[in-house]
Amino acid sequence: QVHLVESGGGWVQPGGSLRLSCTDSDIASYAMAWYRQAPGKQRELVASITRGDTTNYAASVKGRFTLSRDFAKNTVFLQMNSLEPQDTGVYYCNRGKYPTNDYYASDYWGQGTQVTVSS
Interior CA angle at 46 toward 72 and 43, to 5°? Answer: 115
pLDDT digits (tens, 9 = 90+) for 2-26: 689 999 999 999 999 999 999 988 8
Q: Residues with Cβ < 8 Å from 70, sequence gap 6 or more?
A: 76, 77
CA-based torsion, 98, 55, 90, 70: positive or negative? positive
pLDDT digits (tens, 9 = 90+) for 50-103: 999 999 999 999 999 999 999 999 999 999 999 999 999 999 999 999 999 999
Distances (CA, A) of 70 to 33, 58, 73: 14, 22, 6
